[in-house]
Amino acid sequence: MRLSLNQATTRPYGLAETARAASAAGVRDIGLWLESVAEVGTAEAGRILRDTGMAPSSMSRVGFVADKEGVELEAAIDASKRALDVCAELEVPYLAFIPGGLGAPVRQSTDAGEARVRDALERLAPHAAGTGVALAVEPLHPLQVCDRSVISRVAQALRVIEGLPAERFGVLVDAWATHWDPELREAILLAGAQGRLRGYQIDDFVLPLPTPDYANGRVMPGEGWIDLRSISSWVAEAGYSGPVEVEVFNKDIWALPLEEIIDRMRSSAAASIPGIEIEERAR
């Protein structure tokens, strides 16, 4: 497994400077965000990646369909198709798909929410096949089940995509979102056995979470409470050998200089995941 920088970790910085700084620091893989690509345009984003020698490991993100219908649902589906096109142009292997919440305060059942997610994914299947890009369903933390994701377990994500082609439909495992799950190891191994383990993102969990931005209180790998060594060993056991994205949503980290964030990310990942491939700083 090798280190990748997810742009969420360096959110205030644009794609060009981020790609240059990552490349200079010996980080060769980058998890892209649609907003950051749109800022410069897809063609220019492609030039930036080529010029800096960066390989995209993933694209964030589309979805949020579980609590939508009518015009809003169609807009979400269309946005997913456009994002698949962008991924194809930039040779991004997979697009993160966030299910959407049960509804707050709408309150549909989990079954109903899962069914809407499944319907949306089935509708996207032909377009995904045409582009050659995979969709990776990302379970979010149970905190977010009402407003952002009806899917909070890896095993549940696998159940929702059951029967859809494995080369186009997989799961994205994020440590902060899934570390609490008592059956996480079994689910990760099952994802690997099914050929559906698309990506692995690391970050760390501490309490208390900030208010009101509860989701932006993640910390660097190794600085919190998650047993990242165990989870990483399960991911390896499942046969995954791709990029490990450091994806840390944290307002204090976003206030730091870009190179300092990348340095901290490198040292955190090295300390918390034994054997992770990290190049020497190139400069």
Q: How far is the CB of 271 from a copy of itself (least distance, A)?
A: 13
**Checking phi first, is residue 277 left (phi over 0); if not, alpha (psi -120 to 50) or beta?**
beta
Nearer to a copy of itself, 42 or 233 (CB): 233
Judge contact between 102 and 55, C-beta under 8 A: no
Q: How far is the CB of 272 from a copy of itself (least distance, A)?
A: 11
Q: How far is the CB of 161 from a copy of itself (least distance, A)?
A: 14
Nearer to a copy of itself, 84 or 191 (CB): 191
Q: How far is the CB of 248 from a copy of itself (least distance, A)?
A: 17
Q: How far is the CB of 219 from a copy of itself (least distance, A)?
A: 11
Nearer to a copy of itself, 70 or 208 (CB): 208
Nearer to a copy of itself, 258 or 271 (CB): 271
Nearer to a copy of itself, 230 or 241 (CB): 230
Nearer to a copy of itself, 122 or 227 (CB): 227
Nearer to a copy of itself, 69 or 111 (CB): 111
From residue 47, alpha-carbon distances to 19, 43, 110 in Å are 11, 6, 43
HEC string of the chain equals CEEEEEHHHHCCCCHHHHHHHHHHCCCCEEEEEHHHHHHHCHHHHHHHHHHHCCEEEEEEEEECCCCCCHHHHHHHHHHHHHHHHHHHHHCCCEEEEECECCCCCCCCCHHHHHHHHHHHHHHHHHHHHHHCCEEEECCCCHHHCCCCECCCCHHHHHHHCCCCCCCCEEEEEEHHHHCCCCCHHHHHHHHHHCCCEEEEEECECCCCCCCCCHHHECECCCCCCCCHHHHHHHHHHCCCCCEEEECCCEHHHHCCCHHHHHHHHHHHHHHHCCCCECCCCCC
Judge contact between 136 and 171, C-beta under 8 A: yes
Site of interaction with a copy of itself (CB under 8 A) = 102, 104-105, 107, 109-110, 114, 141-143, 145-147, 150-153, 156, 179-182, 205-214, 224-227, 230
Q: How far is the CB of 208 from a copy of itself (least distance, A)?
A: 4
Q: How far is the CB of 181 from a copy of itself (least distance, A)?
A: 8
Q: How far is the CB of 214 from a copy of itself (least distance, A)?
A: 5
Q: How far apart are CA 217 and CA 93, in angstroms?
A: 28
Nearer to a copy of itself, 217 or 242 (CB): 217
